[in-house]
Chain A
């Protein structure tokens, strides 16, 4: 019975994909196909709950199923999007279909690569490295001084609560239209999260560990690299991950305030003006891919570096 239902669900999904992809535009108008979309949603839901049951079990399929469930959810969203946009013949000005976005993406790779270079490889990377580095160094200098700490912590928290992105027009005015001004925005946006987290991490050292290092007659450098820094790593990685998305947002939004004719933020605002929504969404796709990949890479690195931390060990 269960196998039969699963097979039925898969067939339904394939049928729906075929309808969404190959029927001529506007196929929902005047036909009976819309209930099929609802049915296939139920089918996808059923498949996902089946796969979750398998993933929670002990069989050899548990691990692939665990990865497949969110993938299926994502595919379902894309399918509904495609079906509705093509089925109701939604004008391009409002919303392009996913397939159209991918076609545009493929046709404009050199342009998108140039934008990516300008925004990500220049502004984001330079600003991110400088902002995180400065935050780390400041935290390292301040951690020994109780007075400075008392003053900096509330200021840092205050800065975290305000919309720093508003500094973008000022930076554009100071550092010009090119990537330097975007990097400056990124530096300011990433500095404070890094400072606060590194400070918290460096202060989280277990007094017992500190005493042990003292009895070993460890030097200052040894204490820092063998005790304080590893202890602070989970906090530092939290900031690094948070900053990786903040940096991308900062650079793109800063480009709205003035830019040479290249860059992701420029592409988005220019193509919105020309109502080329497929190009806009292609740029967004590139930005999302860059954001997710850098976040994922940092998360992997974190698992390598902080392999001893309970949150990583229990995850295995």
Chain B
């Protein structure tokens, strides 16, 4: 009894209980949804059916409305281990395509964001003229025009990962600008005044003080930015159809009603997003721990 009470205070236990609960609900929902579809199909052909028959068949039908976790897990296993990585049937092949454009877009977007933030912090005119547009740029549903950007750049002979990376860049620069502007301005007032009494130049002020005060903010922004970059890369892949990537996988799955394929692409993209954010988090810990903060 006491061990159970102790367990309820542990975070991993709470998460585990919730996840198990979700999986149980998932199986029940799948039974209802898939079973209904089976009943409809059998009645249309005029066959008789029993509930035990439905119960046994519900988890094994082709193209189920809601695939159950073990089907998705098997599909993931099958496409990763039973195919060569270079084969188009392998999910890893598509993941790597998406990963490439995500990373390129993320790096470009972060650099752009940092440069804009430095400009905004050091130049009052840029601050008043550009900052409102940086914020307004995110109320524009840019993701919706991602396919066009890909098509337009494609007609200018820019194909491959660059058009997708540009979408990712557009999505990921925003959190970096906001975070960096806040961070560069968050330098301790006492430190700033000390630097002024040392007659430090703007450059020295930047490299010796502001850059360091901005780092915690930068990493918080990078985590949001890389998640946004992944979303951008996936949506940008929607119109490229057969060329590959997790987004193309989603689209072809929805065209052909391959629900298991959609779900496994979805699970893969979730995993990818989680891994990317964890990696940024590790870099943050490594760098900030060396400085003795966080």
A residues in contact (CB < 8 Å) with B: 45, 48-49, 51-52, 55-56, 66, 69-70, 72-74, 93-95, 147-148, 150-152, 154-155, 158, 160-163, 165-170, 172-174, 244-245, 248-249, 252-253, 256-258, 264-265, 268-269, 272, 277, 280, 284, 287-288, 291-292, 295
**B274 contacts across to A, CB distance below 8 A:** 158, 161-162
**B201 contacts across to A, CB distance below 8 A:** none
Stretch of B44-52, B144-152, B179-187 at the chain-chain interface: B144-152
CA distance A162 to B139 in the complex (A): 20
A163 and B138 contacting across the interface, CB-CB below 8 Å = no
Choose from B18, B155, B235 the contact partner of A165 (Cβ within 8 Å): B235
Q: Given contacts A55-B128, A166-B262, could you give 7 more A-B pairs where the C-beta distance is less than 8 Å?
A: A48-B129, A94-B155, A162-B227, A163-B230, A253-B143, A268-B147, A291-B141
B141 and A74 contacting across the interface, CB-CB below 8 Å = no
**B17 contacts across to A, CB distance below 8 A:** 147, 151
Closest 7 pairs between A and B when the two form their complex, measured CB to CB: A169-B254, A151-B14, A162-B270, A150-B14, A252-B144, A151-B18, A70-B132
Choose from A45, A69, A167, A173 the contact partner of B257 (Cβ within 8 Å): A173
Q: Report B269 CB to chain A, min CB distance, Å.
A: 5
Choose from B14, B227, B254, B262 the contact partner of A160 (Cβ within 8 Å): B227
Q: Interface size on B (CB < 8 Å)?
A: 56
B254 and A253 contacting across the interface, CB-CB below 8 Å = no
Choose from A93, A169, A170, A284 the contact partner of B251 (Cβ within 8 Å): A169
A167 and B266 contacting across the interface, CB-CB below 8 Å = yes
Given A162-B273, A163-B231, A169-B262, A70-B129 contact (CB < 8 Å): yes
Q: Report A214 CB to chain B, min CB distance, Å.
A: 25
CA distance A154 to B11 in the complex (A): 9
CA distance A69 to B121 in the complex (A): 17
A165 and B234 contacting across the interface, CB-CB below 8 Å = yes
CA distance A213 to B230 in the complex (A): 46
Between A and B, 19 residue pairs with Cβ closer than 8 Å are A69-B125, A73-B129, A94-B155, A150-B15, A154-B11, A155-B15, A161-B223, A163-B231, A166-B265, A166-B266, A173-B254, A248-B144, A249-B144, A256-B251, A272-B148, A287-B140, A287-B144, A288-B139, A291-B140
Q: Tell me the residues in window 233-285 of chain B with beta carbons closer than 8 Å to chain A beta carbons.
A: 234-235, 238-239, 246-247, 250-251, 253-254, 257, 259, 262-263, 265-266, 269-270, 273-274, 277
Nearest chain-A residue to B262 (Cβ)? Answer: A169
Choose from A66, A249, A269 the contact partner of B141 (Cβ within 8 Å): A249
**B148 contacts across to A, CB distance below 8 A:** 268, 272, 277, 280
Choose from B125, B136, B156 the contact partner of A292 (Cβ within 8 Å): B136
Among B19, B130, B155, B231, chain A packs the most CB atoms within 10 A around the CB of B231
Nearest chain-A residue to B223 (Cβ)? Answer: A161
Q: Tell me the residues in window 29-87 of chain B with beta carbons closer than 8 Å to chain A beta carbons.
A: 65
B262 and A288 contacting across the interface, CB-CB below 8 Å = no
Nearest chain-A residue to B150 (Cβ)? Answer: A272
Among A55, A152, A165, A244, chain B packs the most CB atoms within 10 A around the CB of A165
